Structures are given as C-alpha cells and as structure tokens.
Amino acid sequence: MHAAARTSITIIGAGLVGSLLATLLSQRGFTVEVFERRSDPRERGFLGGRSINLALAERGLQALREAGLAEAVLQQAVMMRGRMVHAVDGSENLQRYGLDDSEVIRSVSRGGLNILLLDAAERAGAHLHFDAALTHADFASGVITLVGDGGGSRQHQAGLLLGCDGAGSALRGAMLAQAELGERIEPLGHGYKELEIPALPGRGFALEPNALHIWPRGHYMCIALPNTEGTFTATLFLPSTGPYPSLATLHDAATARSFFQDQFADALRLMPTFDHDWDAHPVGQLATLYLDRWYLDGRALLLGDAAHAIVPFHGQGMNAGFEDAAELAALMAAHGTDPAAVFDEFERRRKANADAIAAMSLANYIEMRDGVADPHYLLKRELAAALTERLPDRFMSRYRMVSFTRLPYAYCVARNDEQTALMESLLAGHTRIEEVDLEAACARALRELSPLPATR
C-alpha cells in the first residue's frame, strides 16, 4: 500500500509551520489531524487587532510555492528592497539587500499569513482542532491529552507526533521527560517592545514603504517593517537589564519617551500612541534554543521554533521553519513507511543548518545595530561590492546567500568565512579601496574560491 494512505499524522500547533506542514502532508495524501491551543483566528478575526509582520525571504517563499500558495501570499506582501538606515541627526540612507528587484524580502502580516495557511490546510483535507492545548503525551500508547479553553480535557489516539508548537513547545516538554534531548537555552540578555507607526491621514505610509527601517544606535536599535494598510510595526531591541538605557531602567512610558526623544526623535514623532503602546505591550525576551536531538524513535519529531528557536536578527525563524516543513514533507512522501528513518534523516539534514542560522542571527544583531559604521567594515563592504560585480560566481554576501538562495545555512557560514578571510588578506595595510589592486584581487579570488553553486 502507498505510504501516505496508512500513515496518520498528528501535528501539535497550527501556527506558521504547523499549518504549512499540514497543507504539504495532506496534499501528499497523508491523514492529518492538527491540535492548536488557541481559538480559530478566522472566527474572532485578526482584523482590527494589532498587526505584527514578518519578513519572508526565498526559503520561505519556495516552501509556499511547493504548497501552491506563493502567489496568494505575495498579494498580501510589501516588498522591502533594502535597509533604510536612520542616523541620530534624522538623515536616511538606503542600503540595498540584493543586486536588483529580483532580490528583495517581503513584509507579510503574521495574522493574515496564518489564516491563509489554515484555509489551505483545510482545503487540502487536514482536520483542524482549536482550543486544544497538548498537556500530556504517553509515547508508549500514543495517547495524548488535550485541554480546552474551559478547562475540559480529552484524549486522542495520536499517529506520528509532529511538534510545531513553538519555542515553548509542550511536546518538547513531554519528550524531555522520556529522553535526553540535550536541551540548552541561551538567553540573549536583550528584550524587545513593539510600537506602532500609523499611516499619515490622507498620505499613507509615514516612511518609505519599500524598505526595512533601522535606527542603529550601537548597543541597541529600533526597526520598522511596513504593513499593506500603510502602517509600520516598529520594534525596539534593548538590553534587558543594566545601566541606562535598558528595559529595566525604562520602567514607565514617560522615561521611555524621553529616551526616544533623545535617540529616536524622528521615529517618536510618528508614534502618536507611544505611551499607550509602551504600557500595553509586554516586553518580549530573546533566546536561542539548541537541542542535540529532535526526535523520539519513530514516534515524535520537533520542528520549527519547537526544535530551534533563534534570535530575530536575520529575519529567518519562519523561513527556516518553512524549509523544515518542505524538507520533512518530501522525506515523508518518499519514505513515510519508516518514520524513524525519516526523522533521523531529517535531523541529519537540518541540524547543522539550524545551528548555522542560529549563529548568523546572533551575528547580524551586531551588524544591524552598529550605527557608528566602522571604517574597516565600510571598506570591506566596498571591496565585497567590487568583487561581486566582477566575479558574481565567486562572491556573494552572506545576506544574499541567506535571504535570496536556498544554499544550506551551514554552507553560507563556511563560504562567508572563506570570502571574509580572503578580503581581510586583500585589505591588510589598506584604508581606501583605491589602494587595492582589483585586478590582482580578482585573480586571487578565482584561484582561491571555488565557483558558487548555481542558485536559480
């Protein structure tokens, strides 16, 4: 019999990864049940609520293409060509992410995307159950316990358990009670606060719409991503504790306002509900989650944030989770009769890549918030641009590899290290790009760097 027909799958969590995975597996013929702690967002409606957006890049987009959903998602997205850097004096400067408009990231609404994915999962035949929080899993019998909003609990005979229940995963908790997974959580020591930039009456977007805005300030920063309705969702990232300024020292809206007046005056002018937002929105904490193992023999597997939650600074959490979902669906379609082998292969393929994007995400915080653009960094950027233009098959920035290709994240790290080492060697003793012999630099790059794999 066909693997899909007799394998029944139980997904925990109908967030971004769970709902996409439910779609992909249902489309491949598997019987899929999904249990989600929250109520159905399509009933209460996300509209009117707070808009929170995310950056979608090539990896996430490719997974959506595989589900036949890319076009529908792109219709709800705002393209972001680059980073708009806002200096303390109020001046702005756009740094493009890619070579042209084929290399852009997109801002999408989390609520809108989740609703689109839930609809797609149901269309594909998945059975969705809301108000059903996993609280217990008996891996020997396969019976799971789910608790509803009102506190009532029920049991369900689960199939293969796939944990897509996010960074605080309850399935991971149940698995940890059974097996050593090597869990390690590393707090960043920085938190965040979300703030709103509304549309200007009659004029729409208050800032350039097609950019990801950054106010870099050294040890902290603000960012803003556009929403289709003309608003921006802004986020302040700041140390959690420590001397002024930290989230601990900005203990009320008035203190926070005077800090913004000092550091982000131009942004503050665009935030008429600043005091309300500051008081109403909780502080979020940031951490990286590492596990040595993601599965329990052939019974349960973790993916997405449940397996590898990362800090947000490369905008890749969802993208990595979508890549997980596409990879797992492909493995299940090919070898679904042997789940233990599928889970093992999934972990083998994804683990080093999860570690790599975790590391690159931490590194990109430093890069984003470092406003006092260091002259050596700028010089390296200039050389990188010159080499990219002359040798596009030898030189690609880390940002472009991560955001605009599907080269494995671990490859992006290794390749970036090689390119950086070469550039450092070429720049040794120089302070201006004119001093570098580009002809000789290209000759060395051709000799020392292998051709990049084809990416389109």
List helix spans (H) across 58-169: 58-66, 70-74, 110-124
**x/- site string to ligand 8RB, residues 41 to 70, per CB under 6 A?**
-------------xx---------------
Alpha helices in 269-316 (DSSP H): 274-280, 305-308
17 interface partner picked from ligand FAD, ligand 8RB, none, CB below 5 to 8 A per type? ligand FAD
Residues 44-103 that bind ligand FAD (CB under 6 A): 52, 54-55
CB of 421 to ligand FAD, least distance (A): 29
The answer to whether 406 and 356 have CB atoms below 8 angstroms apart is no
315 is a site residue for ligand 8RB (CB under 6 A) = yes
What's the CA gap between 26 and 162, in Å, rounded? Answer: 14
315 in contact with ligand FAD (CB under 6 A): yes
Long-range contacts of 67-73 (CB under 8 A, 24+ apart): 67/20, 67/23, 67/24, 67/27, 67/120, 68/27, 68/120, 69/23, 69/116, 69/117, 69/120, 72/116, 73/108, 73/113, 73/116
Structure tokens at 452: 């990049």
Q: Does 139 bind ligand 8RB (CB under 6 A)?
A: no
Our CB check for ligand 8RB shows the closer of 212 and 268 to be: 212
The C-alpha atoms of residue 51 and residue 228 are separated, in whole angstroms, by: 10
Q: Does 17 bind ligand FAD (CB under 6 A)?
A: yes
Residues 201-240, mask of contacts with ligand 8RB (x by CB under 6 A) = -----------x----------x-x---------x-----
Binding of residue 9 to ligand FAD (CB under 6 A): no
Closest residue (Cβ) to ligand FAD? Answer: 15
Length of the chain: 456
Beta-carbon contacts of 100 under 8 Å, excluding residues fewer than 6 positions away, are none
Asked if 37 touches ligand FAD (CB under 6 A), the answer is: yes
- Residue 358 contact partner, candidates ligand 8RB, ligand FAD, none, CB within 5 to 8 A by sort of partner: none
Could you give the CA distance from residue 311 to residue 361 in angstroms, rounded to a whole number?
Answer: 6
Tell me whether residue 222 or residue 423 sits nearer to ligand FAD (CB atom): 222
Told to check if 18 binds ligand FAD by CB under 6 A, we report yes
**Residue closer to ligand FAD, measured from CB, 12 or 358:** 12
Among 175, 180, 164, CA closest to 140: 175
Among 192, 294, 395, 409, binds ligand 8RB (CB under 6 A): 192
Q: Does 426 bind ligand 8RB (CB under 6 A)?
A: no
Reduce the DSSP state of residue 220 to 3 states and report it.
Answer: coil
Stretch that binds ligand FAD, among 115-123, 197-205, 257-265, 304-312 (CB under 6 A): 304-312
- DSSP assignment of 341-379: HHHHHHHHHHHHHHHHHHHHHHHHHHHHH--S--HHHHH
Helix axis angle, 58-66 to 16-27, nearest 10°: 40
142, interface contact from ligand FAD, ligand 8RB, none, CB < 5-8 Å by kind: none
Residues 271-310 that bind ligand 8RB (CB under 6 A): 284
Which CB, 38 or 444, lies closer to ligand FAD?
38
- Closest Cα partner for 78 from 224, 225, 206? 225
Q: Do residues 407 and 401 touch, judged by C-beta distance below 8 A?
A: yes
| Partner touching 314 among ligand 8RB, ligand FAD, none, CB below 5 to 8 Å by kind | ligand 8RB
Q: Which stretch binds ligand FAD (CB under 6 A): 13-21, 154-162, 200-208, 292-300?
A: 13-21
Task: Tell me which of 33, 103, 305, 323 binds ligand FAD, using CB under 6 A.
Answer: 305
Least distance between ligand 8RB and beta carbon 428 (Å): 27
Residue 93: Cβ within 10 Å count: 11
Whose Cβ is closer to ligand FAD: residue 133's or residue 221's?
133
Query: Which residues 90-109 are close enough to bind ligand 8RB by CB under 6 A?
Result: 105
Whole-number minimum distance, CB 194 to ligand 8RB, in Å?
7
> Which residue pairs from 416-424 have beta carbons closer than 8 angstroms and sit at least 24 positions apart in sequence?
418/448, 418/449, 419/384, 419/395, 419/449, 420/380, 422/448, 422/449, 423/380, 423/383, 423/384, 423/387, 424/380
Where along the sequence are the contacts to ligand FAD (CB under 6 A)?
Answer: 12-18, 35-38, 52, 54-55, 133-134, 164-166, 170, 304-306, 312, 315-319, 321
Where along the sequence are the contacts to ligand 8RB (CB under 6 A)?
Answer: 54-55, 83, 105, 192, 212, 223, 225, 235, 284, 312-315, 364, 368
